[in-house]
Chains A and B, each alone.
Chain A
């Protein structure tokens, strides 16, 4: 049975958290990123350079091309959980 991690991440959230930490060189344990905290601004402190890097790595790994005119866009980057939900909804691989 798959276990939920310390911060209540679902397994796919842990996978994406690991991807973010590796891609962006963050000094946090992936499993400790709270799934509902904001990714940008105060939360992980990501910036717009990171947004492009994240978009690229998500496209490469899951075939989903992010767009900013997506009506869901403000929600997509609001937290790890919403980002994961968007990837799962739109992934092609």
Chain B
């Protein structure tokens, strides 16, 4: 099979999306796609900035119809976009609002179309066509590309769907709290419903109360695509949520206790997804029942120079797995954590070594280190930094870091210290850093008390 269809099941009158409170039929979607397809500039690459999930979907499909590749920047910061444009100069952008990219040709999506043209047939796209290039920001914010062929995206969606406890014949709506411009969101909130004939919910609820009202407005069965951070927020509110047939979580490990609470709160089956930028989703598990991960059908683990890689029918070479894993058989594995210098904050992966290089490159910084405190289940743990910089203020160093590293890795807090407790060989031992942290914390507490006492 050299091509795969845009829509898995093709039924002209079935509902494929909820957009601005209205249903969108397959016919309407394909009319939108055809109209936008004919308006697109003749360029190989497009940055799809559309905030609305349905608008993004129309732009994505229209670009596929023209054999174009959608670029997925890790964020919208001008620096990141400029870096992308320097590598993919023959590029335009799509927008559904006020977002613009300076100096680049752009097209504003207008979906207010009254077309009387006959419905377009379900388009077929080449499995080898690079449908998207996802970029991860990494530690320093320099985007690293991962190419996604249309065939791989279709296969991942279909294989993931096999793991979900959805047998309903009635229409399933997929509601997502995650953005569609990242691979996890694109795979689960757009590709999954398209390939299964489910319904894409266009808006992105963010706060727990938003999730309550969106879920209530949708008929059962519903799928909720989310993250541990959002799910924890939901569990900690006292709101009542409607029943959700299946809840998906990815981007960071989901503690088993939280998974149990989510299953109770939403009367749901909580399925956790494991994936990474280079390969996309590769495995799933139900945390309340199992610790180990099961690879998607037809995927197998193979040995690799630094651990394991995953072999798939849709990537020509095995893809190395970035986490340390233990495997009992070629289809199952357990996560043994990341190598100690690698971190994951709210789904953003980074390296302490690379962060330290950036810290030490700041003028006036004599010595310094980032430190990841023991991670707590009840909140997102942020990095701490200890810096030796006699001539600088902590505010100045913080400001310099803001230009050098992704915002999510900015230290909370940054401590200015006289020296780091390096041992005779120059190494920093974990217990010495923890002692330093306790000392700094005590100093800060004493100072705060004094401020209060001095009133």
Measured CB to CB, the residues of A under 8 A from B are: 24-27, 29, 45, 47-49, 51-53, 55-56, 59-60, 65-69
Contacts and interface: CB of A to CB of B under 8 A. Distances in A.
A65 B209 CA distance: 7
25 contacts: A26-B412, A26-B413, A27-B411, A27-B413, A29-B451, A47-B407, A48-B206, A49-B229, A49-B346, A52-B206, A52-B207, A52-B230, A53-B379, A55-B207, A55-B208, A56-B236, A56-B237, A65-B207, A65-B208, A67-B207, A67-B210, A68-B205, A68-B206, A69-B210, A69-B213
Contacts of B402: 45
Given A59-B237, A66-B207, A25 B413 contact: yes
B179 to A, nearest CB: 10
B233 interface: yes
Nearest to B394: A27
Contacts, number: 58
Interface of B: 205-210, 213, 229-230, 233, 236-237, 239, 345-346, 379-380, 382, 394, 398, 402, 407-408, 410-414, 451
Nearest to B416: A27
Nearest to B204: A68
Contacts of B206: 48, 51-52, 68
Nearest to A46: B407
B210 A68 contact: yes
5 closest cross-chain pairs (CB), A and B: A27-B413, A25-B412, A67-B209, A65-B209, A68-B206
Nearest to B214: A69
With a 10 A CB-CB cut-off, give which of A45, A66, A67 has the most chain B CB atoms: A67
A9 to B, nearest CB: 14
Contacts of B410: 45
Contacts of B213: 67, 69
A52 to B, nearest CB: 5
A51 to B, nearest CB: 7
B210 A52 contact: no
Nearest to A66: B207
A65 B382 CA distance: 25
With a 10 A CB-CB cut-off, give which of A29, A49, A60, A66 has the most chain B CB atoms: A49
B207 A25 contact: no
With a 10 A CB-CB cut-off, give which of A47, A60, A66 has the most chain B CB atoms: A47
Nearest to A67: B209
Contact of A47 (B379, B408, B411, B414): B408
